[in-house]
Amino acid sequence: MEYKAFMIKYAEIGTKGKNRYVFEDVLCNRIKEHVDKLGDFVIRREYGRIFLEAESSFDYEDVITELQKVFGIIGICPIVVEDSVDFDSIKNKSIEYMGKRYGNKNLTFKVYTRRADKSFPMQSMEVNSEIGHYLLEEFSDYKVDVHNPDVMLTIELREKVYIYSETIKGAGGLPVGTNGKAMLLLSGGIDSPVAGYMISKRGVELEAIYFNAPPYTSEHAKQKVIDLARIVSEYSGPIRLHIVNFTDIQLAIYEKCPHDELTIIMRRYMMRIAEDIAKANSCQALITGESIGQVASQTMQSLYCTNEVCTLPVFRPCIGMDKQDIIDISEKIDTYETSILPYEDCCTIFVAKHPVTKPNLDIIKRSETKLTDVIDELYKTAIDTIEVCEIKPE
């Protein structure tokens, strides 16, 4: 069966009135960006539906794979289109569709007609039974089952007639670009790419920031983060990645502050820098891959100390998830294999043997005063020497 068109279903919740058009516009743009490289397509709208019609040959599997990465789509239906909205044409097209798609084999079916065009002279029920009747006549091995059919032949009567029997699951969520922008603290680990994916799924555009510690971390570690950003961008769209040289700040903390507090103090500086860069780039929030209790720096007391330096909201979508649940998502979105590559991370290099698990904010703040002489200069240099990479989906 060769399809030339798809009907795109999207959730209509929260998209009433004026917002609906913004939502549909953005979704159409996102679909176009995803399928552009796969052929010539026309994207068309009819109330509550988006149609993707091919004007060139294309690879069916590739188009489905791309459409499944577009947030905001809940279902993808490969359709056949009949231009004439009259009963005989609908009948002929239905028979042709079933013949090509399934042939005459043992199956149960049901016809389901949706009449968006109420001027059509027959009631939906009437169309269902008439078409059902003709199908039974044409295909001797078919049986009707209205409760649990193998095949539900759906006929939508609109400006044209759309016939389909399959709905392939979409990614859900909201189209990227309908909900502002956030700065993802992207490490080379498993959790932060998943966190970025989850927030992007709610329609949020992403920028990302990576704290690099050369020469303690290698080019491989940096490349790994660039690769992860690229995989996430397959869903989120382009990501501007800010790469901060964090080495001198880490060395200063290492030299001047108590070693069991290193991680917390370091994480507070990461959040401060991330927030500054976020604000300078019109981001309205930060995103991290933190999860309660996963490591010493993610106990409730540690999260409290880290969070205290931020004024922007910090989104932590993995916060209540078990590691395995996070891994499951990273496998699904294809970041897992890259995340587990064994390159060192800036956090793992300056880590204490016994980090505090219940840091006290006043004590942490007092320790930070030991950096007073050097930190402003180091902070400024770190910001001034940021390297920016524009990451695009392949």
Binding residues for ligand ATP, rule: CB under 6 A, are 185-187, 189-192, 209-211, 288-290, 294-295, 297-298, 345-347
Which DSSP symbol is given to 387?
E
- Judged by beta carbon, residue 29 or residue 294, the one nearer Mg ion is 294
- Judged by beta carbon, residue 281 or residue 294, the one nearer Mg ion is 294
Which of 350, 351, 326, 330 has its CA nearest to residue 341?
330
Bridge partners (DSSP) of residue 314 are 286
Q: Which residues contact 31 (CB under 8 A, 6 or more apart)?
A: 8, 43, 50, 52, 67, 70, 73
Minimum distance from residue 347 beta carbon to ligand ATP (Å): 4
Structure token pair of residue 100:
């090509």
Exactly one of 170, 189, 317, 359 binds Mg ion (CB under 5 A); that residue is 189
Exactly one of 154, 187, 302, 338 binds Mg ion (CB under 5 A); that residue is 187
Which DSSP symbol is given to 150?
S
Strand bridging mode 151-157 / 161-164 = antiparallel
Binding piece for Mg ion, criterion CB under 5 A, among 119-127, 149-157, 182-190, 257-265: 182-190
Cα 69 to Cα 176, 200, 232, 358: the distances in Å are 11, 11, 10, 40
Binding piece for Mg ion, criterion CB under 5 A, among 162-170, 185-193, 244-252, 349-357: 185-193
Q: Which option in ligand ATP, Mg ion, none does residue 210 bind, with CB closer than 5 to 8 A by kind?
A: ligand ATP
- Point out the residue whose Cβ comes nearest to Mg ion: 189
Minimum distance from residue 296 beta carbon to ligand ATP (Å): 8
CB 266 within 8 A of CB 350: yes
DSSP string, 76-109: EEEEEEES--SHHHHHHHHHHHHHHHT-S-SEEE
Minimum distance from residue 9 beta carbon to Mg ion (Å): 37
Q: Which residues contact 160 (CB under 8 A, 6 or more apart)?
A: 81, 82, 83, 85
CB 53 within 8 A of CB 44: yes
Q: Which option in Mg ion, ligand ATP, none does residue 200 bind, with CB closer than 5 to 8 A by kind?
A: none
Binding piece for Mg ion, criterion CB under 5 A, among 70-78, 179-187, 222-230, 335-343: 179-187
Minimum distance from residue 194 beta carbon to ligand ATP (Å): 8
Minimum distance from residue 189 beta carbon to ligand ATP (Å): 2
How many Å apart are CA 176 and CA 313, to the nearest integer?
19
> Can residue 288 be called a binding residue for Mg ion (CB under 5 A)?
no
- Judged by beta carbon, residue 127 or residue 270, the one nearer ligand ATP is 270
Minimum distance from residue 30 beta carbon to ligand ATP (Å): 25
How many Å apart are CA 297 and CA 278, to the nearest integer?
22
Q: Which option in ligand ATP, Mg ion, none does residue 211 bind, with CB closer than 5 to 8 A by kind?
A: ligand ATP
Peptide bond into 215 cis (omega under 30): yes
- Judged by beta carbon, residue 15 or residue 291, the one nearer ligand ATP is 291
How many Å apart are CA 120 and CA 117, to the nearest integer?
6
Minimum distance from residue 274 beta carbon to ligand ATP (Å): 7
Within 10 A of 372 (CB to CB), how many other CB atoms are there?
A: 9
CB 302 within 8 A of CB 266: no
Binding piece for Mg ion, criterion CB under 5 A, among 55-63, 146-154, 180-188, 255-263: 180-188
Q: Which option in ligand ATP, Mg ion, none does residue 98 bind, with CB closer than 5 to 8 A by kind?
A: none
Q: Which option in ligand ATP, Mg ion, none does residue 192 bind, with CB closer than 5 to 8 A by kind?
A: ligand ATP
Which of 254, 241, 352 has its CA nearest to residue 297?
352
Residues numbered 133 to 152 that lie near Mg ion (CB under 5 A) are none
Q: Which residues contact 65 (CB under 8 A, 6 or more apart)?
A: none
Q: Which option in ligand ATP, Mg ion, none does residue 229 bind, with CB closer than 5 to 8 A by kind?
A: none
> Can residue 302 be called a binding residue for Mg ion (CB under 5 A)?
no
Which residues of this chain interact with Mg ion, rule CB under 5 A?
187, 189
